[in-house]
Amino acid sequence: MLPLAHSTRHPHPRPASRAPPPKRSPARARTRPRLPHRRPQSHALTLTRAQPPSAEPGENTETTSAPATTSVLSFLCPLLKFFGGGDPSQERNDIVEVATSSLSSLARLPWGSSVAASSTERVGTPTSAPTLQLYEFEACPFCRRVREAMTELDLSAEVYPCPKGSLRHRDVVRKIGGNEQFPLLVDASTGVTMYESGDIVKYLFKQYGQGKSPSFGLLESTIFTGWVPTLLRAGRGMTMWSKAGVIPAEKLELFSFENNTYARIVREALCELELPYVLQNVGEGSSKMSSLLSLAGSKQVPYLMDPNTGFRSGDHKTILSYLFQQYSLGG
């Protein structure tokens, strides 16, 4: 077992195994192959404690909100897809990738780069599985704000990517909260389930920030520059890849910090492949830096570990080609 591997917890039952899945169009209803399970799945009750999937939507949810507004993203989505050139698995011009991601990082400075408050109540230390679960997608500026806060609070989380066209995780979100709106946070240690990025950020700081408040401008900045990475990255990390489909038995594990140029590119791919992963945030000053150093031999992110295959790499290009090859239907 990998030193940092977490117990395989699927906080939510796979919809198909517990209840008849909602009606889907034939394209979405396809069967997804799974990697062989290495050990039996223990369906921990984390989400059940926080919000039973069988409960009425919205029940026991601390903060709910109206269904997602007609998002600007639904207008931008086809446009960005067009500019983004379609198939994310195709070989990319790395100079363009890195340049646009670097500009995105510049636009979001100083947020999501370093640790502002290291919580004593450690959530997701390398020895325990994170109790925070975040349903999000990479291109969403509101989700970005929450991931930035998590970096600043040195928090780890289980991330369930919900790109547009998502087969599994969007169903779970509807069951948990009643709305298809992102981000959605579940804190299994407190039983809180929450929509609304601003509320989530304030909650995280209150709960884990040791009296600190959200860093200056973090909440306000989303409306100004939160969209910049989405636009510059031409919607990468927004839509599920057409050949995504393999469900890993165990979650992948990514060392990252939100505003890192190369980690962003890897997170986009994990999102487009709808791969759940443990996000180990290691911003500057993180308490998990020594773990990263002993695992990777370097403090650099991204560093991806796949317990299903033993793959480990700290090179974003190697990671991209691995992910799209390993987790594609028929791949």
Ligand X SMILES: N[C@@H](CCC(=O)N[C@@H](CS)C(=O)NCC(=O)O)C(=O)O
The residue ranges of DSSP E strands in the chain, in sequence order, are 132-136, 157-161, 184-187, 192-194, 252-256, 277-281, 303-306, 311-313
Counting contacts by CB under 6 A, is residue 182 touching ligand X? yes
Residue 181 Cα to chain centre, angstroms: 14
Q: Which of the ranges 81-89, 118-126, 177-185, 202-210 carries the binding residues for ligand X, by CB under 6 A?
A: 177-185
Binding track, positions 197-226, relative to ligand X; x by CB under 6 A: xx----------------------------
Tell me the closest approach of the beta carbon of residue 169 to ligand X, in angstroms.
12
Residue 46 C-beta: closest distance to ligand X, Å = 22
What is the pattern of x (binds ligand X, CB under 6 A) and - over residues 125-154?
---------------xxx------------
Size of the site for ligand X (CB under 6 A): 15
At 289, list the tokens: 């830096």
Write 180-183 long-range contacts (CB < 8 A, 24+).
180/67, 180/68, 181/65, 181/67, 181/68, 182/68, 182/135, 182/136, 182/137, 182/140, 182/142, 182/143, 183/134, 183/135, 183/136, 183/140, 183/142, 183/143, 183/146
Stretch that binds ligand X, among 123-131, 193-201, 283-291, 301-309 (CB under 6 A): 193-201
Residue 31 binding ligand X, by CB under 6 A: no
- Could you count the other beta carbons within 10 Å of the beta carbon of residue 242? 15
| The token pair that represents 134 in the structure block | 């975040």
> Tokens 């109540």 identify what position?
121
Residues 65-94 within binding reach of ligand X (CB under 6 A): 68-69, 71, 73
Q: Which of residues 33-72 bind ligand X (CB under 6 A)?
A: 68-69, 71
Considering the complex, what minimum distance in angstroms separates the CB of residue 307 from ligand X? 29
Binding site for ligand X (CB under 6 A): 68-69, 71, 73, 140-142, 164, 180-183, 196-198
